[in-house]
Homo-oligomer: A and B are copies of this chain.
Amino acid sequence: MFRVDNYTPTRVVFGVGRLEELATMELPGKKAMIFVTADGLMEKLGIQKRVLDLLKKNNVEAVVYDKVTPNPMRKYVMEAKEIAKKEGCDFFIGLGGGSSIDTAKATSVMLLNEGDLWDYAYAGTGGRKEIKVAAPIMTITTTCGTGTETDPYCVITNEETNEKLDFAVEAIFPRVSIIDPELMTSLPRTLTLYQGFDCLFHLAECYITNKHENRLVDIYAEDGIKAVAKWLPVVAEDGANLEGRVHMSYAANILAGYTQSLINCTSHHIIGQTMGGLFPNVAHGASLILVAEEYYKHVRKYCEQIFDELGEMMGVSADANDPGQGFITGLVNLLDKTGMRDLAMSSFGIAKEDCTKIADMTVNNTGIDDMDRYPESLTVADVQDILEKSYK
């Protein structure tokens, strides 16, 4: 019999054109620090000015912090915190994608906690101090990404130790997230596909790990996977298709955020993260795509029934004579349809010999034991086999 655990307290305001509500909605403070990336994209797209104007209408002051990097860094968090203190900012807005939002989250922690951010990191050289409070966080999402809008995680890189670590603490659930798919119609095709597959894997991995235990994980994952299977090829073809953007953003920014708030992904994500750590030019979504087909062929034997259910969500009927093939077929169809099955490790500068190191790091360094719920753990040899079979 199933159970339900749910704690997803972020207020979600999702829909086309809803950024406008920033002018009238109740906000969690009187002076915001807004985080944007250093490439000036939010300014070029006119979104930054629009947000500042809307905040002004809402009688909220704002300071822009515009040094956020693609892999958000500890030193900028500490710098932003100092500026926020001096300026008297009392809440933080991540504007853009995961890096802006995660920098806002980490800064909100440091505004109310003494010392250095790394004192609170819970792995590697981190000080493992507990985070009980953080200043209010708000997000305004312009990508169809990670789910950080609705989850209690942020990932920050320590530029001194080269560690890239997760912070997972309920205090950094955003208070409110505005998700307006209209802001996503100009996302480039490649990013759309990388993020779309990342979303698919978030949902499918959580569904696999869940084993039908937490009922809400199942219904969120199912609605999201159906959306990705139907709409990812549409927005890959035509990024301006607003209906497709609505469905994809709902799946990625809301449902995948929820499932990840409630349960772990699988070792598929750990292999991808490890590859991305060793080869920073491999985008997160790309790293997942590169090994997906072989990964799921390998673990299929552990979860045939669940794979057939995932297949049904993707429009593939289960075949009693070939149990577990459903998800493999659905995945391969989607990779083929979007051209992503041709993605090759070699084109990212990865040599076949590197598979050994990625496999070793995945199992012995990043670690997968706490993630998977298969009847047996993947070994270094398993992961190496997956990587080598994927290699082209």
With contact pairs A1-B246, A223-B219, A246-B2 given, residues A7 and B12 touching in the complex (Cβ less than 8 Å): yes
**Residues A14 and B3 in contact, CB atoms below 8 Å apart:** yes
Identify which of residues 127-145 in chain A touch chain B, using a CB-to-CB cut-off of 8 Å.
Answer: none
**Residues A250 and B5 in contact, CB atoms below 8 Å apart:** no
The smallest beta-carbon distance between A133 and chain B, in angstroms, is 15
- Chain B residues near A9: list those with CB within 8 A: 7, 9
Residues 94-106 of chain A: 1 if any B CB is under 8 Å from the residue's CB, otherwise 0? 0000000000000
Tally of chain A residues near chain B (CB < 8 A) = 26
Identify which of residues 15-64 in chain A touch chain B, using a CB-to-CB cut-off of 8 Å.
Answer: 15-16, 18
Complex Cα distance A371/B214, Å? 33
**Residues A4 and B11 in contact, CB atoms below 8 Å apart:** no
The smallest beta-carbon distance between A76 and chain B, in angstroms, is 30
The smallest beta-carbon distance between A290 and chain B, in angstroms, is 32
- Chain B residues near A246: list those with CB within 8 A: 1-2
- Chain B residues near A14: list those with CB within 8 A: 3-6
**Residues A6 and B11 in contact, CB atoms below 8 Å apart:** yes
- Chain B residues near A215: list those with CB within 8 A: 223, 250
- Chain B residues near A223: list those with CB within 8 A: 215, 219
Name the one of B1, B10, B18 contacting A243, with C-beta atoms under 8 angstroms. Answer: B1
**Residues B254 and A1 in contact, CB atoms below 8 Å apart:** no
The answer, yes or no, to whether A123 is at the interface (CB within 8 Å) is: no
- Chain B residues near A3: list those with CB within 8 A: 14-16, 18
Identify which of residues 237-281 in chain A touch chain B, using a CB-to-CB cut-off of 8 Å.
Answer: 242-243, 246, 250, 254
Complex Cα distance A344/B34, Å? 62
Complex Cα distance A250/B215, Å? 9
**Residues A242 and B5 in contact, CB atoms below 8 Å apart:** no
**Residues A6 and B12 in contact, CB atoms below 8 Å apart:** yes
The answer, yes or no, to whether A13 is at the interface (CB within 8 Å) is: yes
Complex Cα distance A7/B13, Å? 9
With contact pairs A215-B250, A219-B219, A223-B219 given, residues A1 and B16 touching in the complex (Cβ less than 8 Å): yes
Complex Cα distance A86/B4, Å? 37
The smallest beta-carbon distance between A259 and chain B, in angstroms, is 13
Complex Cα distance A251/B1, Å? 14
The smallest beta-carbon distance between A306 and chain B, in angstroms, is 18
The smallest beta-carbon distance between A364 and chain B, in angstroms, is 33
The smallest beta-carbon distance between A2 and chain B, in angstroms, is 7
With contact pairs A219-B223, A223-B219 given, residues A5 and B16 touching in the complex (Cβ less than 8 Å): no
- Chain B residues near A13: list those with CB within 8 A: 5
CB-nearest residue of chain B relative to A150?
A: B6
Task: Please list the 5 inter-chain residue pairs (A to B) with the smallest Cβ-Cβ separation, ordered nearest first.
Answer: A3-B15, A9-B9, A4-B14, A6-B12, A7-B11
If A1-B242, A3-B15 are given as contacts, then 9 extra A-B residue pairs at C-beta distance below 8 Å, sorted by A number, are A2-B250, A4-B14, A4-B15, A4-B179, A4-B254, A5-B12, A6-B12, A9-B9, A215-B250
